[in-house]
Structure 1
Amino acid sequence: MNEVPIMSDFAARYRSRADAFQAKITAVRPEQWSNQSPCADWNARDVVQHIIDMHAAMLRPLDRALSPAPTVHEDPLAAFLAARADVETLLHTPELATTTAETPAGPMSVEQHIDQVVSADLVLHGWDLAKATDQDPTLDHHEVQSMWPTVQHVPDEFRVPEAFGPGIVVYGPEVKVPEDSSLQDRILGLIGRDPNWTPPR
Structure 2
Amino acid sequence: MDEVADRYVRRVETFAGTVATVPDADWGAPTPCGNWTVRDLVAHVAEMNLIHFGRVGVTPRPTPSLTEDPSGAWYAIREQVLAALADSDVAGTRIGGRLGDWTYAQVVDRAIGMELVVHHWDLARALGWRAHLDPADVDHLWRTIELVGEEEVRFGFGPAVPPPDDADEQARLLAHLGRHDDGH
Structure 2 length normalisation: TM-score? 0.90
Letter in 1 for 2:163: V
Q: 2:96 aligns with which of 98, 102, 121?
A: 102
Which ranges of 4 or more aligned residues in structure 1 deviate by more than 4 Å?
A: none
Residue 21 of structure 1 aligns with which residue?
Answer: 15
* Structure (1/2) with the larger helix percentage: 2
Letter in 2 for 1:10: V
Could you tell which deviates more after superposition, 69-78 or 57-66? 57-66
Aligned length: 183
C-alpha separation between the residues in 1 aligned to 2:173 and 2:147?
Answer: 11
Question: For residues 146 and 113 of structure 1, do their structure 2 counterparts lie closer, same or farther at Cα, with a shift above 3 Å needed?
Answer: closer
Q: Deviations over 1:13-53 (max 9, x none)?
A: 10110010011001111101111100112011111011012
Identity of matched residues, %: 31
Q: Deviations over 1:45-89 (max 9, x none)?
A: 111011012101221212334321111221111110111122112
C-alpha separation between the residues in 2 aligned to 1:77 and 1:53?
Answer: 13
Question: For residues 20 and 130 of structure 1, do their structure 2 counterparts lie closer, same or farther at Cα, with a shift above 3 Å needed?
Answer: same
- Quote the offset at 1:152 in angstroms: 5.5
1:147 aligned to 2:141?
A: yes
Question: For residues 157 and 84 of structure 1, do their structure 2 counterparts lie closer, same or farther at Cα, with a shift above 3 Å needed?
Answer: same
8 Å CA contact 2:64, 2:72 repeated in 1 = yes
Residue 124 of structure 1 aligns with which residue?
Answer: 118
Structure 2 gap segments, 5+ residues each = none
Structure 1 length normalisation: TM-score? 0.83
Letter in 2 for 1:174: A
* Aligned-residue RMSD, C-alpha: 2.0
C-alpha separation between the residues in 2 aligned to 1:103 and 1:83?
Answer: 23
Q: Deviations over 1:75-118 (max 9, x none)?
A: 11111011112211210000110111113211111101111111
Q: Which has the higher contact order (CA 8 A, sep 6+)?
A: 1
C-alpha separation between the residues in 2 aligned to 1:153 and 1:180?
Answer: 27
C-alpha separation between the residues in 1 aligned to 2:100 and 2:37?
Answer: 31
Max Rg structure? 1
Residue 181 of structure 2 aligns with which residue?
Answer: 195
Structure 1 gap segments, 5+ residues each = 1-6, 161-169
C-alpha separation between the residues in 2 aligned to 1:88 and 1:44?
Answer: 24
Letter in 1 for 2:154: R
Could you tell which deviates more after superposition, 56-65 or 111-120? 56-65
